[in-house]
Amino acid sequence: MIASNIDNLKKKLPDHVDLVAVSKTKPAQMILDAMSNGHLDFGENKVQELVNKYEALPKTIKWHMIGHLQRNKVKYIAPFVHLIHGVDSERLLREINKQAKKHERKINCLLQFHIATENTKFGFSIDEIKTLINQNLFNELQHVNICGVMGMATFTSDTEKIKEEFIALNSYFKSLITHFDKNIFNIVSMGMSGDYQLAISCGSTMVRVGSAIFGERN
Ligand SMILES: *Cc1c(COP(=O)(O)O)cnc(C)c1O
């Protein structure tokens, strides 16, 4: 069931768009079912749940941390996380770099931008990132790969508004390409169950889909 939901969804995605199956709140067994046709990218938004599932499930899974990440919890996911989507401060970046170094690896990160009007959503502004570029921060952090950008649109039924926010995120991505290694900096993570098609039409290269695959959450 879950595996065929993933297959059907993947058929609708253009080749350049990757799918992160968001398994938060769902049991490990459902992830095993979801993997049966070969899907390996899963997303979680809580560190404890991510660690528990990492320990319980096959080590071939590529784990995406998609939620807000507190600095004091980076150490728990640093040994194994595949991509951290919600990097939203210089201090968090420095901590990820420090923990990655301890584990002698590079950790893939996306810069989260604040594109929604709600002030509950986290993220940088483009000016903050430009300042960090000018301070040479990203060259200094040798254990972090900056792989692109991530954003969450406002929770609204106004698709014009969501579209504007997605277009803004894609424009930030384009304005930053020249500052990063373009072989690595190539991900625009935007779009969820309700808006992934719109996100793709606005330039998304990675969609994070939960309820449309696993069913509604409580
Ligand atoms: C929960 C979540 C998703 C998936 O949401 P659905 O609407 O269930 O597809 C995507 N991104 C983030 C950051 C999330 O927290």
154 Cβ closer than 6 Å to some ligand 1 atom: no
Of residues 86, 103, 102, the one with CA closest to residue 150: 86
Task: Say what percent of the chain tops pLDDT 90.
Answer: 96
pLDDT at position 174 over 80: yes
24 Cβ closer than 6 Å to some ligand 1 atom: yes
Contact partners, residue 178, CB within 8 Å, separation at least 6: none
The residue contributing the CA closest to ligand 1 atom 6 is: 210
Fold annotation for 2-214:
TIM Barrel (3.20.20)
Q: What is the pLDDT of residues 81-123, one digit of tens each?
A: 999 999 999 999 999 999 999 999 999 999 999 999 887 778 9
Cα 79 to ligand 1 centroid, rounded to whole Å: 24
The residue contributing the CA closest to ligand 1 atom 12 is: 66
Q: Determine the Cα angle at 160 with ends 158 and 175, to 5°.
A: 130
Every domain of the chain and the residues it spans: 2-214
pLDDT at position 126 over 80: yes
pTM for the predicted model, two decimal places: 0.97
What does the pLDDT read at residue 120?
74
What does the pLDDT read at residue 71?
98
DSSP, collapsed to helix, strand or coil, labels residue 2 as helix
Task: Say what percent of the chain tops pLDDT 70.
Answer: 100
CA 45 vs CA 64, 116, 177, 210: distances in Å = 8, 18, 27, 11
The residue contributing the CA closest to ligand 1 atom 4 is: 210
Classify 99 in phi/psi space as left (phi over 0), alpha (psi -120 to 50) or beta: alpha
